[in-house]
Chains A and B, each alone.
Chain A
Amino acid sequence: MSVTASPAQTAPRPSPQSVRTDIEVSCRLPLLGLFGSGVLWLLLGLLFALIATLKFHNPRFLSSEAYWTYGRMHAAHTTALLYGFGVQTALGVGLWLLCRLGRAPLAAPGVVLVGIALWNTAVTIGLIAILCGDSTGFESFEMPAYVSAMLFVSYLLIALCGVLTFHRRAEGNLYPSQWFVLGSFFWFPWIFSTTSMLLLCLPVRGVMQSSVAWWYAHNFSSIFLGFAGLASIFYFIPKLMNRPLHSYYLAAMAFWTLALFGSWGGIPGGAPLPSWIISLGVVGTVLTTVPLLAVAANLFHTVRHDLNALDNHLTLRFTYVALVFWLLAGVQQIVGVLPDVSALTDYTWFTVAHWELFHYGFFAFAMFGAIYYIVPRLLDWVNPPMWSPGLVKCHFWLTFVGILISYLALLVGGVGQGFLLANPKYSFAQVMMSTLMALRAGTPGDLFIIIGTIFFLLNFALLLLRWGFRYWVENSGGLRKERL
């Protein structure tokens, strides 16, 4: 087991230029497809969430048609976010890290493209099915049985190309980001196939269904999305700080303990299941304190020498915020499973606040940081086109403030709801009316996130246009010279 230094130190090697060009060319179309369609799904999901939120301002809003019912909007929102945005950007960043850290071009980019087209088709069909009332009824696993096979196959097409790229790597030493990427690539097909089998193909009996569905939702977020985000954090923070990662062994400990304990949990305290299952989940979640502390110590030791550098690079800014939100979400999750707390906070907006913080605060921020770095280098590694700095700034601050507003509103509303619900003196209607204020206060946050995402998409389109124009000028210039 040899110690690998930071990715920044792995530069000088025979003809790194040609390897970079190979990676640039092989990754360009697949990754642009994954990131572009991923962020479009994010925007769509956010719009569904906005419709759902507006129903707390006026329950009659869009209530005349079945498509726009709160329950369907809620399911459509999580599906677009988790499967459209989450899986695709996680795969995109993962593929790029495998290429870059393994010094190998992406294997079979054509197959990846087919996979992306299939995946997007499947998510589209699944989303339409949900809007038409064909959801499965299991949270975070709402797409119906007839698309699950398509989702599974298209995922395998993309992820197996990643594994093949990893197999063909020229760099023998593994960097922690590679473990995290491989972990997330490996986790999804297992949980997805198990859950499809046990919930849709050969349904298990009774509450076993809920047990499987909770296990799936917890693993999907904590491990699959969590590993993908952490891979990006572990890569970009040392690389852009131009410093080696503080400790390779601490990273290894964080990885294995998170894989082991982070995958237990997600079951509410009073669920009608045998209590050993609930207790095991609580124990696992409390033990995620270990990876939480290990990641925090490792990365804060890496950045502590030069905190000002965080401002200089926009990728670094996004990534650092993602790291802080991951730690906060982890702490909230640990506090939230303690039996005395969960008796208050289960089934309240407290858990939704955690969901927002984890998916928007941690995951989306980590992915955007990576996308800001990767996309220009896909187009032209030597002379990467520039993002519009104003739009980036708008995107960062709007999303950041938006997440803070909607998170704090949900957190305060959730804790208040928990305390009032615990006291049977207050009728349920009274409890609901008192949390309504907090819910409504969170709506501007959702709007900010939407506007921020639109700014990102605008910037993305401008970048592509700028690059396309440059490409066209260079090529037509070349043609003219030949003619002369």
Chain B
Amino acid sequence: MKKVFVILLLIIVGYFLAGTFNLIPFGENRIAGNDQGEKVASYYLHNTKEKTSVANVVTAIVVNYRGFDTLGEVTVLFLATTGLGSILFRRKEDDEEVERINKPSSSLVTTGSRILFPLIALLGIYVFIHGHLTPGGGFQGGAIIATGFLLMLLSYKNFHASHKALTWVESLAGISFVMIGFWGLISSNSFLQNIPEVGQLNQLLSGGVIPVIYIAVGFKVAAELTGVLDILLNIKPKK
């Protein structure tokens, strides 16, 4: 029974691979070149504005044209975090105090980081919400939010990022990315197809699926990196 499934899967994969390779002429340069929208690179540069109405061409390529690759990239980060967590995570014993920092921070540091944290989080959220309009996107915004959490973890002794909340945020964001992809696949035969209208150039609600996916990616990356930092900071230093 298992072998039948494997053979069936191989046949399906082979069929689609053969179909894909049939469309690509062998040995022909389709990537670089100065043609007006003939080759792939110049096609992106010339057609992104009209077809997807996204001002940031990099974002349009990363999330729209190459959205499936971005899903793989997100999966790589997820697997790296999971591996680190499974190696280093340890449950605290009841009366154990983990010494994250040796000396308590001064009130200058704690007050400063308390004021800075919302501003850093706001900058991160701005970066990933405006991913299709300004430079930046989900990964950058998520990393900025994680640095804000890092500031809080370093300056407050009893500030803890709740692992349950981080897991929920991460899972929901990942699932919504895949669901948006399948939504496009079901309704118009292409993974991550732009189902919402692409809208007007330079509007906040434009660019089809890009803002939705970048919000999901931003939350996911922020949760993963914060989890990594929290796990690493809670290791007991060797005496």
Question: Is B truly associated with A?
Answer: no
